[in-house]
A = this chain, B = another copy of it.
Amino acid sequence: MTTPKRQEGTSPTPGMLHVPGDCRAVTELLGRVGDKWTVLVVNTLGRGPRRFNELKRELGSISQRMLTLTLRALERDGLVTRTVFPTVPPRVDYELTGLGRSLLEPVSALGGWAVSNREAIAKARQRFDRRAGV
């Protein structure tokens, strides 16, 4: 054997997932929730129900199409309710379901991590890019 041995018994990391199936579930969820807008929409709806164009305004740069698609997907997954008022002009309210609100917490945990470590990541990135740039 020409390659060195790696030391075994690295301390088990707290909070990690242990079941292989879990990995798929997490990945599935992130594949679902990790798109460009879902989290933003969920967070905005976390501040209360919103109409379509209210959301659009608050999100600023989202296109109509993506907002529609995002909301449809959220509705499909039972995270958001869509209430149509048969008025003229039409009005549609979107609101988080219980399930949707429950998602807000782990997302916020991730958000907290993101905020706390944003700079560390930025610096690591700079270091890496400087080295690579040589």
B124 in contact with A99 (CB, 8 Å): yes
Interface contact A128-B75, CB-CB below 8 Å = yes
Main secondary structure of the interface of A (DSSP, over half): helix
The 6 closest A-B pairs by CB, nearest first: A34-B34, A78-B124, A15-B105, A29-B114, A26-B111, A16-B46
Extra contacts besides A13-B46, A27-B40, A99-B120 (12): CB < 8 Å? A2-B89, A10-B49, A15-B105, A16-B43, A16-B46, A17-B43, A25-B111, A27-B36, A29-B113, A31-B34, A106-B106, A106-B113
- Candidate in A10, A34, A109 with the most chain B CB atoms within 10 angstroms: A34
CA distance A113 to B76 in the complex (A): 18
